[in-house]
């Protein structure tokens, strides 16, 4: 005897086991977010699925083309497509990342949903294949597809991706095992006079429980990826100016060399005699000066470059294209921003630059740009009459 499920029962079961999955994943993964925050965000996702299903059924389908699809199934059919479309059209969106799976590693969940739920529903409806077995088989086979596609995307990070994938699937298997036998006990307790009902019901529920728990686990995995990405970005930022730091610049150089078709130039900048600001006005004023200079650099380079703070009063800029006119634009912008009667007193800026070649050592490029900058800096010191004797000898040569 087949134990039939109503739309409401199926929805409650799906939602219930999803919340169980979130609870255990929250406990085992030691998430930094509070449990109620994770549950509320997941409820928003699930509500979107149900709403999409009801809307499509009322406006377009009316259960004529797909008479066996419930509201919940219709929602799970179309919601991943909407999420994927949003991710494609707005790749820089900063809405809740756990919902729209913004980060690259979280596309595992998009692929899981697209390949398992969507493909399985199509196979069931178009070819009349068994419902539960088809969903489970496609869900398992999609994992192999995800790994193959990720081998293209992940590059050197494949080991990290597989480790996360293994942890996520391990929790999923544990949830599926508990859910399967838990359902057997529950259904047999409801209908003890029908000994086969529990087996059939558990087989029917398995198609709901396994994906539901998987969504819960993957959702928490997405949340953890978001937190890890935020920590990585924090480690690559200078806390005073908000610019990227030296570590981030080294990573960006490699990426720009691979993607840019124009020449890439490294520009090093150093504020002249910045120590006098700290000595005369205090470190708070000096910090404000650095912040303002960093803001000016960021505004100047946001179109076709990137500004960095290397440490102290040293900054750097990566430019695409020719550097000459851009360096003069930097000087002019600096003059306009700092010279017109501003307090503390105006400081000059020394600049050196060098083209970055993909076959050259980055350390050598930075060294030559620094040397050019310090030659200009020492020339200014010599002109003011307090350059060191060794500096004077170098300049005389």
- Give residue limits of the domains in the chain: 7-235, 246-396
Q: Would you say residue 97 has pLDDT above 50?
A: no
d(CA 190, CA 169): 31
**In this structure, CATH architecture of domain 246-396:** 2-Layer Sandwich (3.30)
Q: Give the residue with greater pLDDT, 324 vs 123.
A: 123
User: Which range is most confident: 30-39, 117-126, 149-158, 248-257?
Assistant: 248-257
Bond prior to 344 in cis (omega within 30° of 0)? yes
Q: What is the pLDDT confidence band of residue 136, given thresholds at 50, 70 and 90? A: low
Rounded distance, CA 387 to CA 371, Å? 16
Measured between alpha carbons, how far is 102 from 88 in angstroms, rounded to an integer?
A: 10
Q: Which range has the top average pLDDT, 33-37, 137-141, 142-146, 293-297?
A: 293-297
- Which of the four pLDDT bands, split at 50, 70 and 90, describes residue 384? low
Report for 86-95, 319-328, 371-380: range of highest mean pLDDT: 371-380
The stretch 309-316 carries a mean pLDDT of 88
Q: Could you report the per-residue pLDDT of 150-170, keeping only the tens digit for each? A: 555 444 444 444 444 444 444
φ, ψ dihedrals at 241, nearest 5° = -100, -15
pLDDT at residue 325 is higher than 80: no
Lowest mean pLDDT among 131-135, 177-181, 238-242: 177-181
Rounded to two decimals, the pTM is: 0.47
Model confidence pLDDT, tens digit, residues 21-69: 556 555 655 555 566 766 665 566 556 555 555 555 555 544 444 444 4
What rounded mean pLDDT belongs to the chain?
62
CB 117 within 8 A of CB 76: yes
Residue 356 binned pLDDT confidence (cut-offs 50, 70, 90): confident
Rounded distance, CA 372 to CA 62, Å? Answer: 73
pLDDT at site 167: 46
Residues 6+ apart with CB under 8 A from 224: 29, 31
Choose the weakest-confidence range: 210-214, 286-290, 322-326, 345-349: 210-214
378, 394 contact by CB (below 8 A): yes
The rounded percent of the chain whose pLDDT value lies above 90 is 1
Average pLDDT over residues 322-343: 62
Q: Write down the pLDDT at residue 368.
A: 86
Q: Is 56 exposed, middle or buried (0-12, 13-18, 19+ CB in 10 A)?
A: middle
Radius of gyration of the chain (CA): 30
Q: Which residue has the higher pLDDT, 350 or 74?
A: 350
Helices (H), 90-196: 97-100, 107-113, 119-127, 131-154, 158-190
Cα angle value 219/221/227 (rounded, 5°): 110
Tell me if 316 sits within 8 A of 324, measured CB to CB: no
pLDDT at 308: 92
pLDDT of 295 higher than 80: yes
Q: Any idea of the CA torsion for 62, 125, 180, 46, to the nearest 10 degrees?
A: -40
């Amino acid at each position: 005897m087949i134990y039939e499920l109503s739309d409401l029962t199926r929805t409650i079961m799906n939602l219930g086991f999803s919340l169980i999955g979130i609870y255990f994943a929250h406990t085992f993964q030691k998430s930094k977010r509070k449990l109620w925050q994770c549950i509320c965000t997941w409820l928003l996702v699930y509500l979107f699925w149900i709403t999409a299903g009801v809307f499509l059924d009322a406006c377009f389908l009316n259960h004529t083309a797909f008479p066996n699809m419930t509201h919940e199934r219709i929602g799970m059919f179309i919601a991943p497509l909407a999420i994927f479309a949003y991710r494609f059209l707005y790749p820089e969106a900063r809405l809740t990342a756990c919902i729209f799976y913004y980060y690259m590693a979280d596309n595992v969940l998009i692929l899981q949903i697209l390949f398992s739920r969507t493909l399985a529903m199509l196979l069931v409806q178009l070819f009349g294949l068994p419902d539960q077995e088809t969903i489970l088989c496609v869900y398992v086979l999609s994992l192999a597809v995800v790994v193959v596609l990720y081998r293209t995307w992940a590059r050197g990070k494949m080991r990290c991706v597989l480790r996360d994938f293994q942890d996520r699937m391990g929790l999923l298997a544990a949830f599926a095992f508990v859910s399967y036998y838990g359902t057997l006990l529950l259904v047999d307790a409801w209908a003890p006079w029908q000994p086969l009902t529990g087996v059939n019901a558990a087989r029917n529920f398995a198609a709901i429980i396994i994906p539901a728990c998987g969504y819960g686990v993957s959702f928490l995995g997405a949340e953890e990826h978001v937190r890890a990405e935020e920590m990585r970005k924090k480690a690559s930022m200078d806390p005073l100016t908000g610019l990227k730091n030296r570590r981030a610049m080294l990573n960006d150089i490699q990426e720009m060399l691979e993607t840019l078709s124009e020449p890439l130039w490294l520009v090093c900048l150093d504020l002249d005699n910045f120590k006098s600001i700290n000595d005369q006005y205090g470190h708070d004023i000096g910090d404000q000066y650095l912040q303002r200079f960093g803001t000016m650099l960021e505004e100047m380079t946001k179109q076709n470059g990137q500004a960095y703070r290397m440490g102290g009063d040293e900054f750097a800029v990566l430019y695409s294209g020719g550097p000459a006119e851009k360096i003069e634009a930097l000087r002019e912008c600096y003059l306009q921003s700092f010279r017109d009667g501003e307090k503390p007193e105006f400081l000059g800026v020394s600049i050196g630059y060098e083209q970055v070649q993909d076959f050259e050592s980055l350390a050598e490029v930075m060294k030559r740009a620094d040397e050019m900058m310090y030659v200009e800096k020492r020339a200014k010191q010599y002109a003011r009459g307090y350059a060191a004797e060794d500096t004077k000898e170098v300049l005389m040569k």
